[in-house]
Amino acid sequence: MARVAFLGLGVMGSPMAGHLAKAGHEVTVYNRTTAKAQAWVEQHGGKLGKTPAEAAAGADFVMACVGNDDDLKQVCTGEGGAFEAMAAGTVFVDHTTLSARMTREMYAAADERQVCFVDAPVSGGQAGAENGQLSVMCGGDEGAFLRAEPIIGAYAKTCRRLGGSGAGQLTKMCNQIAIAGIVQGLSEALHFAEKAGLDAHGVVEAISQGSAASWQMDNRARTMLEDHYDYGFAVDLMRKDLKICLGAADEIGATVPVTAIVDQFYKDVQNMGGGRWDSSALFKRMRSLG
């Protein structure tokens, strides 16, 4: 078993860290809101670090799941950051969804300290984190990935290295681009069914058995039709991710017109007061159009 630090105990990080403790690893946690970390320790055991550096001291692996580029930079290289306490040869695994540019910057900063850095964003949402069924997309040096893979396995159903530093983040962008289009397509299909006077639940049952089937249809169509939007990934976070996707597309010369349009639809949802609704709330927008 390994000594592991986990930085960031949000809706994803908290259950992920819990799986590490359940697997028998010696876990020390850090969270910007100390009360959350204290509550986690009371539930799962382990130790509490008052700073990222304190949590990371003596760890073999440091995992992070924070909010954005600035948050990751702060916990890595800010005052009391993890890198200052990590020994040469240890591995930092970042599960945050952020820009490939920041990933490469942190990879370089870690390398200066002889620390390994693996970008490892996840897909599967809160339910995947709670059930230990996340898909993990990794970038970084192969040796560091192979060392980290068994640790990540505590909460992953699949974990794959896609290339060098930043490849994990770029793959996560592919994931978000695909989701955005699928959710909008599903929303339009359900809207069409209702406007046509069909039993939308029956339509879903019929088409979910054919080539229209998707994870979104299986897991969100029913709740969308019931006007419930508190089951998954928040619209605010999806817009953050799509901003990253669109910025990267400009940098590499990729054409993603549907993604750009759906991003604006999510902006409409935010303007409806739905920033904390889950990403399937695109259907609520469709219904609002009449």
Residue from 117, 121, 122 nearest 140 by CA: 117
Chain center to CA of 145: 18
Chain center to CA of 93: 13
| CB contact set of 75 (below 8 Å; sequence gap of 6+) | 7, 8, 30, 52, 64, 66, 81, 82
Structure-block tokens of residue 219 = 């897991």
Q: How far apart are CA 71 and CA 81, in angstroms?
A: 11
Structure-block tokens of residue 113 = 């300290």
Task: Say whether 22 is catalytic.
Answer: no
CB burial of 51-76 (b: ≥16 within 10 Å; e: otherwise) equals bbbbbbbebbbbbbbbbbbebbbbbb
From 22, 50, 172, 240, the catalytic residue:
172
Which residues are annotated as catalytic? 172
